[in-house]
Amino acid sequence: MEGLLLAAARLFAKLGYHAVTTNAIAAEAGVSPATLYQFFPNKEAIADELATRYSVALAEEEKAADLTLLVKRPLAEAVAAIMEIVVVFHQKHPAFRTLLTEALLSEGAMGEKHRLSETFVGQLAEFLTMRRPALAKADALWSAEVCLTILKGFLPQVAGRKTAERTRAIESMNQVMVRFLEPIVRVKG
Mean of pLDDT over the chain: 93
pLDDT tens per residue across span 46-76:
999 999 999 999 999 999 999 999 999 999 9
Q: How many angstroms separate the CA atoms of 135 and 152, rounded? A: 24
Query: Which fold, 43-185?
Result: Tetracycline Repressor; domain 2 (1.10.357)
At 7, the pLDDT band (50, 70, 90 cuts) reads very high
The number of C-alpha atoms within 13 Å of 80 and in the hemisphere containing its C-beta is: 12
Q: How many angstroms separate the CA atoms of 30 and 35, rounded? A: 10
At 24, the pLDDT band (50, 70, 90 cuts) reads very high
The domains of the chain are located at 43-185
Spatial contact of 116 and 122, defined as CB atoms under 8 Å apart:
no
pTM listed for this prediction: 0.87
